[in-house]
Each structure stands twice: as structure tokens, then as C-alpha cells.
Amino acid sequence: MGLSARIVAVPGLWLALDIIVCVKYVPDVSSTELKVDSSGRDIERRGLNYDINEWDDYALEAALMLRDKHGGSVTAVSIGGEEADRVLRRCLAKGADKAVRIGDTRLNVNDPFTVAKVLSAAARKMSFDLILTGVQANDDGYAITGPAIAQHLNLPHATLAKKIEIVDGRVIVNRELEGGVEEIVELDMPAVITVQSGIVELRYVSVLGIRMAMRREIKVMSLDDLGLSSEEVGEPWIRVEELYAPRVERRVEFVGGSPEEVATKIVELLKRRGLL
């Protein structure tokens, strides 16, 4: 079990940090048209590009930075089928030391409570000082997983981290509140932190790096490996019953034509409004 406090609060003492980063692979939907599939509960996933969840990318980056500063290791963990390997390889290419995929067809990955339970069971099998994950995921945006893991493991937590520092064996987190105000909290370790976008600059992954990562091992674990029965992760706590295009009354008037025509129309509009 990784919950024993390995950190000794002696100033100046070298301490290594073992960090678990939970990452999700999500479809990139920013400029694609989304269709609801025949079940009516999910999107049509064929033809979509998948990538690491933006917030998890920042969590990984923050973890790598902490490890580079204090020593230790970063383990990227994801739940899903083989398609999740791509994201884990990207984590390895960026500098993660290990990658673990929990692949089990019995798992309902669309329920954040199931996900949190499984990830905390996986964490129990590892030794760690910190668990980092994104504030939320691009796709469902629940923002549940991180604090739910903390509760399962009975660990202190902080959400919406814009800055993470280790001082004397404790972790200091700047939490982002509304309007850009930040709240400073101090946590004992081990702890769980959810990372807000923009915490550090994201590093670039080279094609060569990805290619090298192809040869690295991704450890695959099943529910049995985690000591979880299928009943324990059976019924989802929440589920999508229906997915549909928002029924909003748009007031928008579309301006069409060639760029020159559009520009002319907009300039006319601005003149009429006294804005030009």
C-alpha cells in the first residue's frame, strides 16, 4: 500500500516524489460536427480523432516538473481498451517513467464514480506521494473523478490547482477561484490534486519521442488484478439517458458570401451602429 507517509519533514533532506497521473483519452470535438449514435445516448465515434484530455495533459506536465525538481517517478494510468495506449505512449514520450492501463470490458467508463473507484483501487496497488489528474474532462465535463478518488483513499485533496510546490514535505497548492482569485492551501502527503489548465507550459512531443515510446511497456491490469469484483463496479451511479442538440432559439443572423462581401457587410453594420 502506498499510503504510509514516506515523507519526512526535515528541511533540506532530499526526497523523491512518486506521482500517479490519471489520464483520459477523449475525442477532439472542437471543430468537428458531432452526431448522436443510434442508441441516442452516445456520440457517433467513428472518424473522430482521439487525444489526451487537455486538463490531464497539464496534470502530466505538472507531475513531470515536480519529479524533475525533486526526483522520483511519474506513472501515467488510464482506463480503457487498446485505443488508450496511444495516449499512454504520448505520456511516456513526454517523460513519464511508467504507464498502466486498466483494460476490462466489464467497466463502464462513462460513469465517473466507477472510474474513481477503479483508479483508487489501482492506486492502492502502487506506492505514491501524490495523485494528479485534470480538473475535468473535455468530453463529459463532470469534474468528479479527482476528489472522488481522494475520498475513496481517505486522503486530503485540492482542486483547480494553478501552482503546486513541495515545501518541507508538505504540498502547497494555489487553487483558482472565480475571477482569477487564488486560494492557498497546504496539504499533508500523500494527497490528491486536480490540475487546472495553464499551470505550466506544455512541452512539445517529438515524432521521434513517440516512436521511441512505441517500444516501451504498458502494463495492463484487469479488475481481478485490482481485487475488484464486477458487482463492485456494476451499476453506474449516474448515466446519460439521452443526448441531443441543444434546443435553443438562436438570434444569430448569418452573414454569407466571399470574404470581401462579408467584410463589406460587417463594415456597413458597424457604420450603422456608430461603431466605425
Partner 1 sequence: MGEVVVLAEQRGGEVREITLEALAAGRKLADKMGLNLAALVLGSVVEKLAEQLSEYCDTVLLTEDERLAQYNSENYQRVISHIVRERSPRVLVMGHTSLGIDLAPRLAVELGFPLITDCIDVEFLDGRLYATRQMYGGKLNARVSAREADGYILTVRPGSFHPSKAAGKGVVVRLAPPELGGEARKRVKGLVAPTESGVSIESADIIVAIGRGIGEKTNIPLAEELAKLLGGVVACSRPIVDKGWLPPDRQVGSSGKTVKPKLYMALGISGAFQHIMGMMNSQLIIAVNKDPNAPIFNIAHYGVVDDLFKIIPALIKKIKEIKGMK
Ligand X SMILES: Cc1cc2nc3c(=O)[nH]c(=O)nc-3n(C[C@H](O)[C@H](O)[C@H](O)COP(=O)(O)OP(=O)(O)OC[C@H]3O[C@@H](n4cnc5c(N)ncnc54)[C@H](O)[C@@H]3O)c2cc1C
Please report, as ranges, the residues that interact with ligand X according to CB under 6 A: 30-31, 135-136
Cβ of residue 134: shortest distance to ligand X, in angstroms?
Answer: 9
Do residues 133 and 160 lie in contact, with contact meaning Cβ atoms separated by under 8 Å?
A: no
Smaller CB separation from partner 1, 71 or 141: 141
Q: How far is CA 192 from the centre of its chain?
A: 13
Cβ of residue 160: shortest distance to ligand X, in angstroms?
Answer: 6
State whether residue 186 is helix, strand or coil: strand
Query: Residue for cell digits 472510474?
Result: 115
φ, ψ (nearest 5 deg) of residue 147 = -60, -30
The verdict on whether omega for the bond into residue 190 sits within 30 degrees of 0, i.e. cis, is yes
Q: How far is CA 18 from the centre of its chain?
A: 18
Other CB atoms within 10 Å distance of the CB of residue 110? 16
- Closest-CA residue to 129 (of 2, 268, 272): 2
Smaller CB separation from partner 1, 73 or 133: 133
Smaller CB separation from partner 1, 84 or 171: 171
Residue with the shortest CB distance to ligand X: 31
Residue 47 contacts which entry, ligand X, partner 1, none (Cβ below 5-8 A, type-dependent) = none
Please give the C-alpha separations between residue 69 and each of 14, 56, 65, 72, 215, in angstroms, as whole numbers: 10, 20, 6, 9, 27
Residue 16 contacts which entry, ligand X, partner 1, none (Cβ below 5-8 A, type-dependent) = none
Cβ of residue 93: shortest distance to ligand X, in angstroms?
Answer: 23
Smaller CB separation from ligand X, 78 or 136: 136
Cβ of residue 89: shortest distance to partner 1, in angstroms?
Answer: 23
Cβ of residue 29: shortest distance to ligand X, in angstroms?
Answer: 9
Smaller CB separation from ligand X, 143 or 243: 143
Cβ of residue 160: shortest distance to partner 1, in angstroms?
Answer: 6
- Closest-CA residue to 27 (of 8, 2, 45, 6): 45
Smaller CB separation from ligand X, 38 or 49: 49
